[in-house]
Amino acid sequence: MDLLNAAMDVLRDVGYQDLSMDLVAARAHCSKATLYRLWSGKPQLVAAALYATRPAKVQEINTGTLRGDLLTVVELLDRQAEKDTALFAALSHAVLSDEELAAAVRTSLVTPWLADLSGVVDRAVERGELSARPAAADFLPELLLSVAITRPLIGGGLADADYLTGCIDHVLLPALRST
């Protein structure tokens, strides 16, 4: 985990384009060979670091209500907003020009995030809060992350818990509850 934390620190400090295995090895106090034994390259290392250092596992969230589960997700996003909003905005750009990074991030981070948030909706269906899986559930992960990442551009500040709660209450829950 120390290697992955070091990779995240370097990623935040210099960005994806300037991140190198040499910089990560120096920060982690290990050899570059150690990194290459564990990951085949920079995209795989970055994807593994993003996955391993995520704030919590959304699949473990189960407050008993759909709103409660979504608000817990919002709390996780809020705690990481200051540290990770710029990072994810930069990575969004990097995946446009680096297909290997895009594939690694989709496999190790995006696919689990989609499954985790689908699980939140599926549990609501199992509890009877929703009569069936709504079509809006397919858009939930992208909408929630988009709001969090684009808030500084559009609103001039980070997407804090109050802002994201408003998004949950006024946009996402009504969409999920409509049939």
pLDDT band at 92 (very low <50, low <70, confident <90, very high): confident
Whole-number Cα distances in Å, 115 to 36, 45, 66, 93, 121: 29, 22, 15, 23, 10
Average pLDDT over residues 59-78: 90
pTM of the model as a whole:
0.79
First-residue to last-residue Cα distance in the chain: 43
Distance CA(167)–CA(161), nearest Å, equals 10
Q: Are residues 62 and 14 in the same domain?
A: no
Expressed as residue numbers, the domain containing 30 is 1-53
Q: Are residues 30 and 68 in the same domain?
A: no
**Which CATH number belongs to the domain containing residue 32 in this structure?**
1.10.10.60
Q: Are residues 7 and 71 in the same domain?
A: no
Q: Are residues 94 and 148 in the same domain?
A: yes
Q: Is the pLDDT of residue 59 over 80?
A: no
Question: How many other C-beta atoms are found inside a 10 Å radius of the C-beta of residue 27?
Answer: 17
Phi first, then psi, for residue 60 (nearest 5°) are -90, -5
For the chain, how many structural domains are there in total? 2
Q: Are residues 48 and 95 in the same domain?
A: no
- Across all residues in the chain, what is the average pLDDT? 89
Q: Are residues 135 and 159 in the same domain?
A: yes
Distance CA(135)–CA(57), nearest Å, equals 24
Tell me what pLDDT residue 179 has: 66
Q: Are residues 87 and 166 in the same domain?
A: yes
